[in-house]
Amino acid sequence: MSREQVRLSREQVRRRRRRLPVRVLALTFLVLFLMSAGAAGEPTKEVWVAPVEGMISPPVAGYLEKTIRAAEREGAEALIVTLDTPGGLDASMRQIIRAQIDSEIPVVMYVHPQGARAASAGVYMLMAADVAAMSPQTNLGSATPVSLGGDMSEEMKRKVTNDAAAYIRALADNHGRNADWAEQAVREAVSLTAEEALRQRVVDLVAEDVGDLLEQLDGFEIAPKGITLDMSSVQVRTVEMGWQERFLHLIVDPNISFVLMLLGIYGLLFELQSPGLGAPGIIGVICLLLALYSFQVLPVSYAGLALIVAAVGFFVAEVKIQSGGLLALGGTVGLALGAMMLFDTQESFLRVDWLTIGIAAALTLLFFILVLGAVGRVFRRSPTTGGEGMVGGIGVAKEGLDPRGQVSVHGELWQAVAEDPPIGVGDEVEVLSVKGLELRVRRRD
């Protein structure tokens, strides 16, 4: 072999070596692409989890209804609602139940975490669920309807109770649960632990957590919708309330709405004490509007509201009159009584808490005595500037007044008219009145 042939052979080897890494890299990318395309071709199964805590209110109903519709659109295998509620409003409860029944995907009501409860409206939601589940150490029951508008007559109580009993019995029957116990929960306000509820066929499952629940749901048959659940290789997706829904859910709490009302009233009163459309007035208007929103939802008692308004009147009178604390004490008592009566219902979770009442009364008393009292004293103080502040002031005649001349008062030169002329240069004078830029003075003894 000639030298030229050897050189060409070596050059070809070097070229092949340079191309080898490029080919390996291209092959690797091709394999990864094919793997990702294969993975993308396999649909991902999801189970949505929607946590609900607190009173069943319009924001909660809107959130659950919207979540059910979104889970349907995205083809979720099921929606699990983790529930911890003392009860809530009948209209919101029925809105949620309608969404559960109309849902094309299974809706699982799960009383969770341990220590949670499903009382009152929560029992109806469990009976209407495709699957009713509970965690250990949870309870449900006490579904007797309570009037949100004051005491009912015996005839009206009987009608409302019969309607509620028929409603919950129909929900339990349709989902194969213990309808007799469900009716008893309405008529006698009975309750059950998770284990007792499972034994009496009130719920379908008892699970430690969401993972345990998914294992037990695999292969579960939902007769009303003709669906058999397949929970193999599912991914859990938690969908929580948006900030707007959380905010609205927060302010419909009786304690929060009571505090918002007080802040609104006090902000406006403070603005009236020192006019000028400042921060207190703006904050007061916003707080009152938010309180009015919650009052649309909650069962407000006009007697309680009137007592709170009267209490505020007593506090303002204390600032103006200075009764030695008698009016302030009367206002504190009126505020406490008004807060107790503000929401006309027997449900404890729909009433203002005693601790909130005590703190609000104490802070209100301090607010009006210290803050508005100080502002009132400033407004009652004699003027020290301007025309009114000049009256009674002492000055010195800079030139003879017979009857007109110049005087110096508070370090300023003024034209003056003497009441008892003549007044000599250097004599002390007292200001009697002010008219425009001219003072009326007399010789000071």
Give the end-to-end CA distance of the chain in Å, rounded to a whole number. Answer: 141
Confidence at 387, pLDDT banded by 50, 70, 90 = low
Asked whether the predicted pLDDT for residue 96 surpasses 80, the reply is yes
Distance CA 382, CA 384 (A): 6
pLDDT value of position 124: 95
Percentage of the chain lying above the pLDDT 90 cut: 33
pLDDT value of position 40: 45
Select from 98, 161, 89, 166 the least CA-distant residue to 122.
Answer: 89
Asked whether the predicted pLDDT for residue 364 surpasses 80, the reply is no
Average the pLDDT over 366-373 and give the result: 68
Distance CA 203, CA 109 (A): 10
Asked whether the predicted pLDDT for residue 98 surpasses 50, the reply is yes
Distance CA 113, CA 52 (A): 11
Task: Return the structure tokens found at 382.
Answer: 């004699």
Q: What is the mean pLDDT of the chain?
A: 82
pLDDT value of position 396: 87
DSSP letter at 408 equals: E
pLDDT value of position 25: 54
| Tokens 């009566």 sit on residue | 341
Query: Cβ-count burial of 147 within 10 angstroms (0-12 exposed, 13-18 middle, 19+ buried)?
Result: middle
Mean pLDDT lowest for which of 58-72, 222-236, 355-369?
355-369
Question: pLDDT for 264-293, tens place per residue?
Answer: 888 887 777 666 657 888 888 899 999 988
Confidence at 161, pLDDT banded by 50, 70, 90 = confident
Q: Is pLDDT larger for residue 272 or for residue 221?
A: 221
pLDDT value of position 196: 95
Confidence at 390, pLDDT banded by 50, 70, 90 = confident
Average the pLDDT over 217-238 and give the result: 88
Q: Is pLDDT larger for residue 185 or for residue 445?
A: 185
Question: In terms of pTM, does the model score above 0.75?
Answer: no
> Is there a contact between 85 and 118 (Cβ–Cβ < 8 Å)?
yes
Highest mean pLDDT, choosing among 211-215, 356-360, 430-434? 211-215
Query: 3-class SS at 213?
Result: helix
Beta bridge partners of 430: 394, 442
